């Protein structure tokens, strides 16, 4: 729409300089909304506190060129997860595919354990029980699956601890899944095999808020090997999955997670790294 009437230069400059008075300013502003010619004649130099328009344009361009946050990211932000952590968690498909691979490996483990039960392999399996899911998770975060690996390797952060944190995240998801699955599948409850792994992983993580994770892991590994050896010597490795010990594993898992959350929140170091 082109108007035949236009604001003259002095009036326009007076408005931009903030000396036009209320009615004059209102009049100019109403006219500007409808007249492209007069808008184009606004020279902002006289305005008292006008920011650098080119700098603002750079900021606008930077913001609109950012990729739109994924649905997962927006949900996490809505749940009050800090934006940077949300980005880290949702960093693209890489992290999710590694996570899914780890989940599959962790589920495969008790299935194999059940299949081989009663054979000589079972003892060996039990010996490795707390390690296999951890190893599975570590494997699936190899350079082939995990594209964020370079940044992770460069971060001042114990790799063992990173692997254990992820193991915990995988186990916490797959144990309930297997419990539900076990209710529908006839036969033995396979998920019991994951409980030692869950308990030990959580304990090592909890202890690692005080000391090197390798020390805690070493101590627990020694204890576990001794216990398995003793049970095997007596010829009944099933005792390691007895009801009492299962409760102990669960309690250890709960205590480990509790300590981890409490300590990291206070230390402010790894809160939300996963």
Partner 1 sequence: MGVLETADDARLVAALAGGDLGAMRELYARHAPWLGVRLALRCNDREVVADVLQDTFVAAWKGSQRFRGEGEVAAWLWGIAVRRLVSRVRGRRDVVVMAEIPEQPHRHVVPGVEEQVLLDVEYGDLGLALGRLSPEMRAVVQATVLDGLTTKETSRLLGVPENTVKTRLHRAKAQLRGHLAEGRA
Minimum CB–partner distance for residue 43 and partner 1 (Å): 7
DSSP H/E element including 65: helix 53-65
Cα(93)–Cα(99) distance, rounded to whole angstroms? 10
59 binds partner 1 (CB under 8 A): yes
Measured from the CB atom, the residue of 3 and 92 that comes closer to partner 1 is 3
Q: Is 51 in the site for partner 1 (CB under 8 A)?
A: yes
71 binds partner 1 (CB under 8 A): no
Residue 82 found at the interface with partner 1 (CB under 8 A): no
Nearest CA to 172 among 274, 76, 271?
A: 274
Per CB under 8 A, does 52 bind partner 1? yes
Output 5 or 184, the one with its CB closest to partner 1.
Answer: 5
Does 34 engage in binding with partner 1 (CB under 8 A)? yes
For partner 1, the binding residues in 214-233 under the rule CB under 8 A are: none
| Residue indicated by tokens 């949300």 | 86
**CB nearer partner 1, residue 43 or residue 269:** 43
Q: Which stretch binds partner 1 (CB under 8 A): 38-46, 91-99, 177-185, 264-272?
A: 38-46
**How many of the other CB atoms lie within 10 Å of CB of 91?**
16
Q: What is the DSSP letter of 116?
A: T
CA dist 134 and 66 (Å) reads: 36
Minimum CB–partner distance for residue 57 and partner 1 (Å): 6
Query: What count of Cα atoms within 13 Å lies in the side-chain half-sphere of residue 151?
Result: 7
**Contact with partner 1 (CB under 8 A) among 3, 36, 140, 166:** 36
Closest CA to 209 of 172, 250, 257, 246: 257
Binding partner 1 (rule: CB under 8 A), the pick from 2, 44, 79, 186 is 44
DSSP letter for 239, please.
Answer: G
Measured between alpha carbons, how far is 91 from 36 in angstroms, rounded to an integer?
Answer: 44
Q: Footprint of partner 1 on residues 3-32 (CB under 8 A)?
A: 5-8, 10-11, 14-16, 18-30, 32
SS3 189: coil
Shortest spacing between CB 78 and partner 1, in angstroms: 17
Residue 60 within binding range of partner 1, rule CB under 8 A: yes
CA distance 182 to 110: 11
In angstroms, give the least distance from the CB of 86 to partner 1.
19
């Amino acid at each position: 729409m082109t108007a035949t009437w236009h604001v003259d230069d002095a009036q326009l400059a007076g408005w931009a300089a903030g000396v036009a008075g209320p009615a004059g300013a209102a009049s100019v502003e109403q006219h500007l909304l409808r007249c492209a010619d007069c808008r184009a004649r606004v020279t902002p130099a006289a305005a008292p506190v006008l920011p650098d328009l080119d700098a603002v344009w750079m900021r606008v361009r930077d913001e609109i060129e950012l990729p739109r946050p994924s649905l997962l990211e927006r949900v996490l932000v809505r749940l009050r997860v800090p934006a940077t952590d949300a980005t880290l968690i949702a960093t693209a498909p890489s992290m999710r595919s590694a996570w899914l691979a780890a989940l599959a490996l962790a589920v495969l483990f008790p299935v194999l354990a059940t299949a081989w039960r009663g054979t000589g392999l079972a003892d060996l399996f039990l010996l490795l029980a707390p390690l296999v899911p951890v190893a599975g998770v570590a494997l699936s975060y190899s350079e082939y699956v995990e594209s964020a690996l370079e940044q992770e390797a460069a971060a001042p952060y114990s790799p063992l601890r990173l692997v254990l944190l992820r193991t915990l995240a995988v186990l916490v998801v797959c144990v309930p899944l297997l419990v539900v699955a076990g209710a529908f599948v006839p036969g033995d409850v396979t998920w019991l095999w994951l409980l030692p792994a869950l308990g030990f992983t959580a304990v090592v993580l909890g202890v690692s808020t005080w000391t090197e994770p390798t020390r805690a892991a070493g101590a627990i590994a020694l204890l576990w090997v001794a216990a398995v050896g003793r049970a095997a010597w007596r010829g009944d490795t099933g005792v390691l999955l007895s009801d009492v010990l299962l409760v102990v594993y669960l309690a250890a898992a709960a205590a480990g997670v509790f300590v981890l959350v409490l300590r990291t929140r206070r230390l402010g170091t790894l809160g939300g790294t996963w």
